[in-house]
Structure 1
Amino acid sequence: MTEIDRRRLLAGTAAGAAGTLAAASTHPAAAAHPQPGAKVLRTPERRFAGLPDYPFEPHYLRVGLGDGSRTTVRMHYLDERPAWPVRASGETILLLHGNPSWSYLYRHVIPPLVAAGHRCVALDLVGMGKSDKPTDRFRYTYQQHLDWLTEAVFERLDLRDVTMVCHDWGGTLGLRLLAEHPHRFRRVVAMNTGLKTGREDLPAEGWMHLATWLQFTQRTNPLILSDVVADFTTSELDPAVLAAYDAPFPDDRYQHGARRFAVLIPLTPHDEATPAFEAAWEVLETLELPFLCVFGEDDHVTGGRHEALSGRIPGAAGQPHTVLTDAHHFLQEDKPDEVAAAIDDFIRRTRP
């Protein structure tokens, strides 16, 4: 099978997309949960009742579905701010999660940052967490995720002078957001993430097999997303915490967003997304704004090596990049206090 054939296989066809959408709307369990419409699923709120260590008030905004219709998608976010007697620092921290997590990942990082005087805004990407889940799996493209994020952060929330904290896919999206809107940011903290263009050495065949399996085992191989989190933390997570990571996904119809992320990584220089990634790097390689890497020593993706970012972005020069010991990919689970302390220290050292 040629590379083009594999890409077509993963991308699917419009007919396939229509079939998926029709199947979702006629699924026998469809009537069991209140849904906002045939194009979008919404996880029932009862799934999130009693989550451990997640007392935060939910907030919602709406963004366009992106299919040319007037359909909108509801995005969930947290907006935690210091209350008296804590003096506000005037800093806004945007926390972006990756796959297959959601804002729950930051539940132990947010409180110490708020206690330090910072405002914390943590979004759930579309298809994840408490945000809506489009039923058309082909709606989840890299550009659509970026469009949703751009509309939410800059048009709906109108965030400015932002400290971006980005992990995993939150960085792969957030670094493009930074490159396209650098004037909106003060500094960046990148955690176990990167921005691949397709020109790097990647296990392309292995990644392709994984992506293919994720797309074509729907309804035949249940995807237990909490297993991914459990496998890539050094600490043993409580069953209630693992259940919280599964809460957004009552069944496979809700998992299209999580399954599709693996397809979106450029594997070769011929990938259709490569030019946009390379254009982003042209900007990132000129940015002087402070840039810090906080990586996990045991991360299976990076092995704690952050030079692909810290060695190319000018604002990263001379910063106290941190590699946390006994921390795996989900370092917010393994070392939340150290993560929060690194962010707060970085903000205080680089304040104008």
Structure 2
Amino acid sequence: MTSLIETAPAERRSAELEELVQQQPQQFRVLTGDRPTGLLHLGHYFGTLHNRVRLQRQGVELMVVIADYQVLTDRDVAEHLQQHVEDLVLDYLAAGIDPQRATIFTHSAVAALNQLLLPFLSLVSVAELSRNPTVKDEIAHSRQAAVSGLMFTYPAHQAADILFGKANLVPVGQDQLPHLELTRTIARRFNDRYRPLFPQPDALLSPAPLLLGTDGTKMSKSRGNAILLSATADETARQIRGAKTDSQRHITYDPQTRPEVASLLLLAGLCSGRDPQELATEIGAGGAALLKKVVTEAVNEHLAPLRARRAELAGDRAYLREVLRRGNAAANALAETTLAEVREAMNTRY
């Protein structure tokens, strides 16, 4: 876990960046993305999607990578990769990401981006890769018998994702700060060894709310405890009715001692724009039944426009592929320019 001492400067810098984004959004290019492992859920929505849409609306240039190369080690996902990628684009657009203003692209379609991985790997040691917290976490949760070289080099690959477009702002959680720091290290070492070319991207800390799944553990697609953005209102109601609470009838907001109840209250608060503590006071003696009714109504009302838009777009897969084609073309043009600059800096233009 990243220590408080390490995160305090990042938190201060992030607060400064938020002010700068409001004042001069055109000065920033954001890189963010996801691996196409399945449909997105409420944890993704309030953890990342909502923040991306906010930044886009403020006028920040947004680049979103679908990291399809990073799921090749997962056989179940790889067998249905095209559908997973298209579903991810569908969730993005439904959530409010505007393909006319954002560049949505895939790893596999941008050859020049991936070519940057080789010189970048020459700038980091095996020890630096192996002690990266994200790599450790991936290894710990991997269902594979052995760790692939692709997974091991993931931090350097992500550096290529960020630096090929010279993104200067990356929304992350505190647990991802070491990951971004390696990107900054690679940029700094390249600039020192060859010539100044890459910005050292800043972290925009995203304090994603901790939403538990319906079983009281971390919301996750693989655990079957997530409320999907694509779920119907009835499916959502059924899942929330079965959500874990506790034996106390009177509803209070206490994240430490009543995490399951607190998570439901937080979800209702996020969806309705209200304070979870106020909701708890109103529900009070109404118990878990009233709590779940309030949560269900708040979630379904909040997601209704998103779900309507998603249903509309789902019938036009050709449009989803066109969004990707345009995004891939734009990303390729940018990557080719950057790769040419890298070759020039490294004296490898023959």
Higher strand share: 1
Higher helix share: 2
State the TM bucket, normalised to the shorter chain: under 0.3
TM-score (structure 1 length as normaliser): 0.27
Larger gyration radius, structure 1 or structure 2: 2
TM-score (structure 2 length as normaliser): 0.27
Task: Specify which structure has the bigger relative contact order, considering alpha-carbon pairs within 8 angstroms and separated by 6 or more residues.
Answer: 2
